[in-house]
Structure 1
Amino acid sequence: MMRHHVGHVLKHKTLRTPNKKLLLDRLLFTPPMVAFTIFSLGVMRGSSPKASRENLSRVYWGALLMNWKVWTVTQWLSFHYVPPQLRVLWDQETVPRLPEELVLTLLADMIASKTLTDDRLSAFFMISRRVLKLADCCSIRNSILRQIPFRCPDLRCLDLSNCSQVTNSVVRAVLQGCSGLQTLQLDGCRHITDAAFQPDHSPFYALHACTSLKVVSFARCSQLTEHLVLFLIKACRSLTDINFSRCKRLNLSFMGISDQAFTTEPSDQRNGFYAMGRALRAIDLTQSNITDIALFALAKHCPRLEEVKLSCCSEITDVGVEALVRSCRRLRVLDLNNCALITDRGVGVLGTYGQQLERLNLSWCMNITDKSVVDVAGGCGRLREVLLVWCTQLTDASLDAFVPGVEPTSTTAMESTAARAKGLKLNFSGCKGVSEAHVVDARRRGLEIITGA
């Protein structure tokens, strides 16, 4: 409110120009007002004066710099073009009407500097808001987050990753009020459970957003079970990307995503992956308890998958991988990191059916040999990155398979060889059978190779 009275305070005729008023507002009035605001908010929230002073010394400069960054242009326009009697209204209406890109930038800066408060976040809420990225905002109260669907009903993307305070009530409010929501990221929200998405917990308010959701991410959400997966694939028919990675890392007793989440009874053709069908494009099942049965279901009902992450799924075998690759011919990304039961049989089939592969991770698959790597190199012509970290049975033959076959007998030939290898990145870290001489020669021909212990 002090900004509204700057024009009345500065009565001297030499201080009546807009630029002088702006300088005095920014340099004289703003610093003490920011300090007073931070301190008084701490006291009103129940902190002691000593704790409030400590908080003030910690966040003051970041808050002041952010204030100068955000409000200087606004105040310049205010002093130059807005009549004094309308300046309060101008200040209140400015932030909600900022362009989407600028809002995201300001929010990111505030989050990084830990200066985003409940009041400041509320100032960014408006009906036309489409994107809100609030990752790592652990200090925002749930009562403020529950206002999102009422004040931003047309939201399309909401990121609440690592907001550990988020509970089922926040998620349900968003699903009920944001009917057009397409992306919902809840990574690390460890308090949410299956109940947040269950329709029987909301007899009067439908979860409208479930019909429009395309991307959902629940990485490290330790209390979710296979029942949520079943509900999602029944109700969210538009889903194209699901992330359940590391859902059991925090609490094994709560989490055990297994084959049951991906299979259905033959008599229920409307459920499971029969319902989702061809819409699914990406799925992340890192560290899940699935077996080949789940891969059979994916292969049968989701042939248009482009990205599959199965890192640390220790129960899957060559049989499941082979079924998946044979059916899903559009695979661009396949992650089999630390899948201990995978051998040459499962990897070799990629050379026949994985022509679209661009990124392949076989790190710590210690049962594969040069044979399957040669098959991959010969059949997957679009590869841009291959990770073979600690595949201890590999030798120089695996590296040679990726090196262009033309012997560079001249400068022109060498340039042609490098051009063919351009863009391919290989990681042979920990592969003791790959010699340094072959690595040097391959780099000379244009390959980007990472090695090391």
Structure 2
Amino acid sequence: MEDCPSLIQSNAHIYSDLPASVRSERGLPRESGLVLCSPECPSGARTAPHSWHIKTHPLEIPQKWEASPFLSGQDASVYSLIPVLGPSLTVLDLSSCVALTNRTLQAIRASLTHLSVLRLAWCKELRDWGLLGLGDPSDEPTQEPQEHLRAKLRRNLKSRSFFPQLHQELEHQALGPKDPSPQPQGSSLLMLRALRELDLTACSKLTDASLAKVLQFPELRQLSLRLLPALTDKGLVAVARGCPSLERLVLSHCSLLSNEGWSQAASSWPRLQHLNLASCGQLTEQTLDTVGQACKQLQMLDVAMCPRISMAAVRCFQAQLPQVTCVQSRFVGGADLTITL
């Protein structure tokens, strides 16, 4: 790292242990380990063009950034690189770093506040509390069962029955439900105010609980929420209101999204140009009509493998929006793949 100072001041992509065939396609070194790609790195010629290859094991972790006992292997390597990269880093690609943890994500938010591009595709261990900047729920002391707490409180108040109304209020306050929808804290993803592109593809443990509160970036241009099985209409509407400047949106394989969600969300995205709704099984031609009326700048639409959208609806959509130059409609209308193939 010492003979490549420009890496700290330029864009970087960190790739995990990808298969050799994928590494070859991307022009990356075939050896295992992490890869940082920098267009300004003079040492890049020794590996792949514009890249810096870092072995996973020899990395020295700075004392003030010692790897947590919860971090291991690949995640510890990424964690140790964060302070080295510096606050001037603008592009960080951690795609396929499947071992990336929420604590490393929190470190990224705290140190790399000037990021404009953050790709976390297939980081399957990321959870809602990590995006919200909250502590790990597993670190909290075990709570006593509600019924046990209720019985204990009643015993304590039994001898003071001459204040029944006050006792009822105290019991309600003590046993009232916790906030089911926690708010983002100071170290949440919202700290990355310069974001223009965010990829959360296949971060399958994320739900509306975090997405609805954290995805509030008025200047965000590209967003991928592909393969998020828990994303619902509520989350979609919240994302639409929080990210009104989107130009590219990928929501394929989000099976809980429906026409109702799109009827509320579409009007927030007048600048949308590329939209991917492939394999969203609940969507019908009603969503096509909604998108056609609200997204007048749309150029590309993917509704492949949407069983409730007919080919006739796709043709009608194209006729109404001639500026849409590409519509992917493979196997729409519930086509039998065994016959079509």
Same fold (TM over 0.5): yes
Q: How does 1:72-111 map to 2 (within 5 A)?
A: none
Residues 182-230 of structure 1: CA distance to partner in whole angstroms, max 9, x if unpaired? Answer: xxxxxxxx9521353248xxxxxx9242311111111112221111111
Match of 2:74 among 173, 180, 192: 192
Report the equivalent of 2:237: 322
Q: Write the letter of the residue equivalent to 2:103.
A: H
Report the equivalent of 1:353: 268
Name stretches of at least 5 consecutive residues in structure 2 with no aligned partner: 14-25, 66-71, 135-181
Q: Write the letter of the residue equivalent to 1:432.
A: G
Quote the Cα distance in structure 1 between the aligned partners of 2:241 and 2:184. 25
Residues 370-414 of structure 1: CA distance to partner in whole angstroms, max 9, x if unpaired? Answer: 11111001110111110001111112234313313xxxxxxxxxx
Q: Write the letter of the residue equivalent to 1:283.
A: L
Q: How does 1:144-293 map to 2 (within 5 A)?
A: 159=51, 166-167=55-56, 169=58, 192-198=74-80, 207-248=83-124, 256-265=125-134, 270-276=186-192, 278-288=193-203, 289-293=205-209
Quote the Cα distance in structure 1 between the aligned partners of 2:83 and 2:183. 27
SS of match in other structure, 1:193: helix
SS of match in other structure, 2:121: coil
Report the equivalent of 1:425: 326
User: TM-score scaled by structure 1?
Assistant: 0.49
> Paired residues, what number?
256
Quote the Cα distance in structure 1 between the aligned partners of 2:73 and 2:51. 16
> Which of 420-429 and 266-275 deviates more?
266-275
How far is 1:268 from its partner?
A: 8.5
How far is 1:286 from its partner?
A: 0.9
Quote the Cα distance in structure 1 between the aligned partners of 2:218 and 2:43. 39
Classify 1:138/1:317 alpha carbon distance in 2 versus 1 (closer, same or farther; 3 Å).
same
Report the equivalent of 1:303: 218
Q: Write the letter of the residue equivalent to 1:327.
A: G
Classify 1:292/1:151 alpha carbon distance in 2 versus 1 (closer, same or farther; 3 Å).
same
Please tell me whether the aligned partners of residues 213 and 239 of structure 1 are also in contact (alpha carbons under 8 angstroms): yes
Match of 2:316 among 374, 387, 400: 400
Report the equivalent of 1:70: none
Classify 1:424/1:192 alpha carbon distance in 2 versus 1 (closer, same or farther; 3 Å).
same
Report the equivalent of 2:306: 391
How far is 1:349 from its partner?
A: 3.0
SS of match in other structure, 1:313: coil
How far is 1:304 from its partner?
A: 2.0
Report the equivalent of 2:255: 340
User: TM-score scaled by structure 2?
Assistant: 0.64
Q: Write the letter of the residue equivalent to 2:303.
A: L
SS of match in other structure, 1:224: coil
Q: Write the letter of the residue equivalent to 2:122.
A: R
Classify 1:284/1:171 alpha carbon distance in 2 versus 1 (closer, same or farther; 3 Å).
farther
Q: What is the root-mean-square deviation in Å for CA atoms of aligned residues? A: 3.8
Percent identical pairs in the alignment equals 20
Choose between structure 1 and 2 for higher RCO, CA contacts under 8 A separated by at least 6 residues: 2
SS of match in other structure, 2:74: coil
Q: Write the letter of the residue equivalent to 1:196.
A: V
How far is 1:150 from its partner?
A: 11
Match of 2:28 among 133, 136, 141: 136
Structure holding more helix per residue: 1
Please tell me whether the aligned partners of residues 350 and 380 of structure 1 are also in contact (alpha carbons under 8 angstroms): no
Q: Write the letter of the residue equivalent to 1:291.
A: T
Quote the Cα distance in structure 2 between the aligned partners of 1:159 and 1:373. 42
Which structure has the bigger radius of gyration? 1
Q: Write the letter of the residue equivalent to 1:403.
A: A
Classify 1:167/1:135 alpha carbon distance in 2 versus 1 (closer, same or farther; 3 Å).
farther
Quote the Cα distance in structure 1 between the aligned partners of 2:12 and 2:197. 23
Residues 272-297 of structure 1: CA distance to partner in whole angstroms, max 9, x if unpaired? Answer: 23422x21111111111100122123
- 1:312 and 2:227 are equivalent in the alignment: yes
SS of match in other structure, 1:312: coil
Please tell me whether the aligned partners of residues 133 and 186 of structure 2 are also in contact (alpha carbons under 8 angstroms): no
Match of 2:292 among 377, 382, 407: 377
Name stretches of at least 5 consecutive residues in structure 1 with no aligned partner: 1-124, 177-189, 200-205, 249-255, 405-419, 435-451
Quote the Cα distance in structure 2 between the aligned partners of 1:391 and 1:283. 25
Quote the Cα distance in structure 2 between the aligned partners of 1:150 and 1:280. 27
